[in-house]
Copies of this chain bind each other. A is one copy, B any other.
């Protein structure tokens, strides 16, 4: 980076290569709460921003509700500890998403939340949230809407986890993660970095890491997917979608779709694009 460019970027001007935290938060707030001109408040919120290192704990079970966390960068997981010491992953949270909605009801968190990667987050304190609601009357409505969407998303998840087999759950999860990461489809393939360890992914889906691994390798042998460590490439999104929407025995459909194995040439939009879990964002 040239000296000149760096100088410019240090002025934190918005819209450039590097943007100021205030602007990022303002933009996020705007996109999350759908209100314009929350700049002043954003400035205030900037003071509540902080970074997290890998594995750092945001909060534990039983902690009181302090406010919502807006994720600017990084991925978090929230989980409960079962008595045998195992972690039951409740959810992963991605950039642009809010953490802590469920604690608004009781005023107490019932799960632990930690960072899976280096993360930048911003605490919207309960008081500030109230201010925001008062300044912009639509915010409370919007907050209710977001929470309701969360309920809807979890209802879909219920269906996904109860009604389906490992293969199907895993396909759903991968597609959902890719979507929430906001990765683009290039050349009919989706590449992304899996933000969590496989144990976590497995625990989230109610599976063991072994089953997860086997499933992935099977897909790899079909050429539908390629993994190298945490680098994932979904080579055949359509096949994965088909697997994800397959609720029980329907070997037919998938293999009809996958005929020709490694490199197939069906029309790009085969009408199979159900987005099962993709309900939490607008």
Contact = CB atoms under 8 A, between A and B. Distances in A.
B154 A158 contact: yes
Interface string A151-186: 110111111011100000000000000000000000
Contacts of A141: 140
Nearest to A104: B148
A101 B148 CA distance: 6
A205 B110 contact: no
Contacts of A148: 101-106, 147
B248 A161 contact: no
A159 B110 CA distance: 12
A242 to B, nearest CB: 11
Most B CB atoms within 10 A — which of A91, A149, A204? A149
Contacts of A249: 84
Interface string A262-277: 0000000000000000
Contact of A144 (B143, B157, B158): B143
A29 to B, nearest CB: 18
Interface string A26-63: 00000000000000000000000000000000000000
A235 to B, nearest CB: 25
Interface in A45-94: 80, 82-84, 86, 88, 90-91
Q: State the oligomeric state as a number of copies.
A: 2
B163 A161 contact: no
B155 A83 contact: no
Contact of A91 (B83, B155, B245, B250): B155
Contacts of A257: none
A258 to B, nearest CB: 18
Report whether over half of chain A's contact residues are helix, strand or loop; otherwise say mixed. Answer: helix
A83 B248 CA distance: 8
Given A83-B247, A154-B154, A247-B84, A162 B206 contact: yes
29 contacts: A80-B159, A82-B248, A83-B247, A83-B250, A88-B162, A88-B163, A88-B247, A90-B155, A90-B158, A101-B151, A103-B148, A105-B147, A105-B148, A105-B149, A105-B151, A105-B152, A106-B148, A106-B149, A106-B152, A111-B155, A140-B141, A140-B144, A147-B148, A147-B151, A154-B154, A154-B157, A154-B158, A157-B158, A161-B206
